[in-house]
A and B are shown apart, each in its own frame.
Chain A
């Protein structure tokens, strides 16, 4: 039997229906956000295997169970990996069911984390995560160490308040800024604003999250809307990886701001409170800083920028963030926010 590969476009309703049937039949949940999907067809044009990509990850991989054992997954993964290379992604991740890792191990992927009975997360570099951890452990400090993971889109007085609390209560604070470029403010600018806004705290060490925390490979539903069960599984996977990161830095506390607004962050916080203590990490929730009786949030700052003059955000952000809006880069982000349909994190 010869098989042929063909891209399945979002507009191809018949192809999409076949894809849904195949994934459902193999008990694989379909991600709502995919960049590219390919199908493998037999000589009767029947869909027998499929795979998709999102960012630098491979997802929704399935072979019809009646066709398993013919090496069809290898054909699908080969195609997706070379497609990813043409898109500029050479460090790749696979998000798959936790009992399917052996198949991808044969195709050059190595497991780095799992949520038992749910999902496993693999990468195509034998020492990718180990190298990331050893890079971090060079920044390990003695004493009581805490960590925060923040997107800072952009850095507000709320973020600064949270970091200040952590810095006052610990010897060292490892502050991770989400490096995925999926937000209105570009990563380089978010990072620079965090750095400027935390310059008065010498015990705060800045890091990038890389591909291993709140990334589009681990936690796509952080950036693009999905249902609660998907968010929950991805958040648990993210926290598995965080556990390893915390161990390599000697971190025993994670600080989070309480979350009155965003569904995804609120759920992430609840799961953190459940999961972190099991990994020997205290989850410390700090009440939001308020301004005129309203909790400060980056979503609210973006909404104010969208709706009115920049001056409106002055009481909500540090001077370093405020000044940014009068630079060329800052003006470009203002334009982007004003033309965006929705600037509130769901």
Chain B
């Protein structure tokens, strides 16, 4: 999927995550800030990148402001932001989005 416009999903409230995704020319850039970066930074990065890969997003600037979200929340917020940025607002295949998750 191609990132057409800047879009956002999620909030800055506790246990949530705010995902911003913007168009970029070449490749993915990821910026993460989190109160639990030391403990879960790598896990957050992996979940975000896996979700993007599952959605076929190869170019974009992604900003993650994490407030201690669970993986499922991160996945949902990233998916939502990507669909918004691609201008898709209905008939979203919730639950069927291919997620590259080796633990399942």
A interface residues with partner B (beta carbon < 8 Å): 71, 74-75, 77-78, 81-82, 85, 88, 90, 106-108, 124-127
Contacts A71-B13, A74-B11 given; does A85 touch B31 at CB 8 Å: no
How many angstroms from the CA of A90 to the CA of B65 in the assembled complex?
14
- Given A85-B6, A108-B63, A108-B65, the answer on whether A78 and B18 have CB atoms closer than 8 Å is yes
| Residues from 32 to 88 in B contacting A, C-beta threshold 8 Å | 33, 35, 63, 65, 67
Chain A residues, Cβ within 8 Å of B33: 108, 126
Q: Is the CB–CB distance between B67 and A90 below 8 Å?
A: no
Report how far A71 CA is from B7 CA in the complex, Å.
24
B side interface size, CB within 8 A: 16
When the two chains form their complex, are residues A108 and B12 in contact, meaning their CB atoms are under 8 A apart?
Answer: yes
- Measured CB to CB, the nearest residue on chain A to B64 is A108
Cβ–Cβ contact A82 & B8, under 8 A: yes
Bound Cα distance A125, B20 (Å): 11
3 closest cross-chain pairs (CB), A and B: A108-B65, A78-B11, A90-B6
Q: Is A81 a contact partner of B31 (Cβ separation < 8 A)?
A: no
A sample of 29 cross-chain residue pairs with beta-carbon separation below 8 angstroms, ordered by A number, consists of A71-B13, A74-B11, A74-B13, A74-B14, A75-B12, A78-B11, A78-B12, A78-B13, A81-B8, A81-B12, A81-B18, A82-B8, A82-B11, A85-B6, A85-B7, A85-B8, A85-B20, A90-B6, A90-B8, A90-B20, A108-B12, A108-B18, A108-B33, A108-B65, A124-B20, A124-B63, A125-B31, A125-B63, A127-B31
| B1-21 with Cβ < 8 A to chain A | 6-8, 11-14, 18, 20
A77–B13 Cα gap in the complex (Å)?
10
* A78 contacts across to B, CB distance below 8 A: 11-13, 18
Residues on the A chain within 8 Å of B13, using CB: 71, 74-75, 78
- Contact of B31 with A107 in the complex, beta carbons under 8 Å: no
Residue of B nearest to A79 (CB): B11
Main secondary structure of the interface of B (DSSP, over half): strand
Whether the Cβ atoms of B11 and A71 lie closer than 8 Å is: no
Tell whether, in the assembled complex, residue A106 and residue B14 are in contact, meaning their CB atoms are under 8 Å apart: no
Residues of chain B with a CB closer than 8 A to A106's CB: 35
- Which of A78, A88, A126 has the most chain B CB within a 10 Å cutoff? A78
Distance from B34 Cβ to chain A, minimum over Cβ atoms (Å): 9
Q: How far is the CB of A344 from chain B (nearest CB, A)?
A: 37
List B contacts of A124 (CB < 8 A): 20, 63
Query: Are B63 and A107 within 8 A (Cβ)?
Result: no
CA distance A88 to B7 in the complex (A): 9
Q: How far is the CB of B45 from chain A (nearest CB, A)?
A: 14
Q: In the bound complex, do residue B14 and residue A71 qualify as a contact, i.e. CB atoms below 8 Å apart?
A: yes
